[in-house]
Copies of this chain bind each other. A is one copy, B any other.
């Protein structure tokens, strides 16, 4: 996500200079060699000191850990944007930043299954929704700058309150992940009795289970930092699934047809 963001900004000449910070020297070398950034370094502190805009592209809890350091080192007026998948805890940590920096939360809706410089691309952000979650203290100028940056990437800015974002993301993203893992766990249990199950998994199972192959560290970080909203979304889901099951148990074919038809119609409208 970070590599694609840097590369897109450089490719579109949206910034005077794009500096990449990586932990490994090899990544730093490759980023410059491939032209993903203008300049790259493993020295986070000096990169923060020189930046007008700092974009943090790590898991949520790493962002929270890094924020005090950014607060200590950043230039006056520096805008601090993050790409974390959950926003409430990050916004809370951003509130503690010193007055001279301008924090804005961000979450682009363009996940990739794999991460790293090797999979960076300049059209990842094209035509995507990019959620921005400003703080009360965020100035109009900083928010405008963040929106300009989002548009420069080819994305559409969508301003949301952090808690609202997290509640919606729990339903649209974190819930599907857990369902997918639950499906794999159920299949694993049944396959222990009868492993022929794996020979009968066709495209429907493949798609419904896809998210369970996601990076566990990334997803764990998301679930833990959005625990309340995720539990609420799973509760809503369980009630809805139980409703469908109750109709099947009760042989109420007409009501079941209606409920399944509502789901079908919405899904077809949503992705047509």
Interface residues, chain A, CB within 8 Å of chain B? 109-111, 128-129, 131, 158, 160, 164-165, 167-169, 171-173, 175-190, 194, 196-214, 216-217, 219-220, 223-224, 227, 230-231, 233-234, 236-241, 243-245, 248-249, 251, 253, 256-257, 259-264, 266-268, 270-271
Top 8 A-B residue pairs of the complex, sorted by shortest distance between their CB atoms: A182-B241, A176-B208, A185-B240, A184-B263, A186-B237, A181-B263, A213-B267, A172-B200
Dominant SS at the A interface?
A: helix
Report whether B172 and A201 are in contact in the complex, using a CB–CB cutoff of 8 Å.
yes
**A157 CB to nearest chain B CB (Å):** 12
A210 contacts across to B, CB distance below 8 A:
204, 207-208, 267
A190 contacts across to B, CB distance below 8 A:
167-168, 171, 233, 236
A178 contacts across to B, CB distance below 8 A:
241, 244-245
Nearest B residue to A211, CB-CB: B204
**A177 CB to nearest chain B CB (Å):** 7
Report whether A180 and B208 are in contact in the complex, using a CB–CB cutoff of 8 Å.
yes
Report whether B205 and A208 are in contact in the complex, using a CB–CB cutoff of 8 Å.
no
